[in-house]
Amino acid sequence: MSTAALVLVCDVCERRVEGVDGYVTVDEIAARDRGPEIEAWQARGGSRSPLELLEAPAPIAWHIYHKDCDPDPEHEGYSIMASQCSTWPQLVAWTSHVLEKPWARYTTWGPLLRGILTASGQSAAAGR
Ligand SMILES: [Zn+2]
- Residue ranges of domains in the chain: 8-33+61-125
Contacts of 6 (CB under 8 A, 6+ apart): 85, 86, 87, 88, 90, 91, 116, 119, 120
What pLDDT is attached to residue 27?
96
The total of other beta-carbon atoms located within 10 Å of residue 42's CB is 10
Cα 9 to ligand 1 centre (Å): 8
Contact 113, 25 (CB under 8 A): no
Cα 47 to ligand 1 centre (Å): 41
Mean pLDDT by 10 residues, the chain (128 residues): 80 96 96 95 85 90 97 90 95 96 97 94 55
What pLDDT is attached to residue 76?
79
Cα 116 to ligand 1 centre (Å): 15
Cα 104 to ligand 1 centre (Å): 24
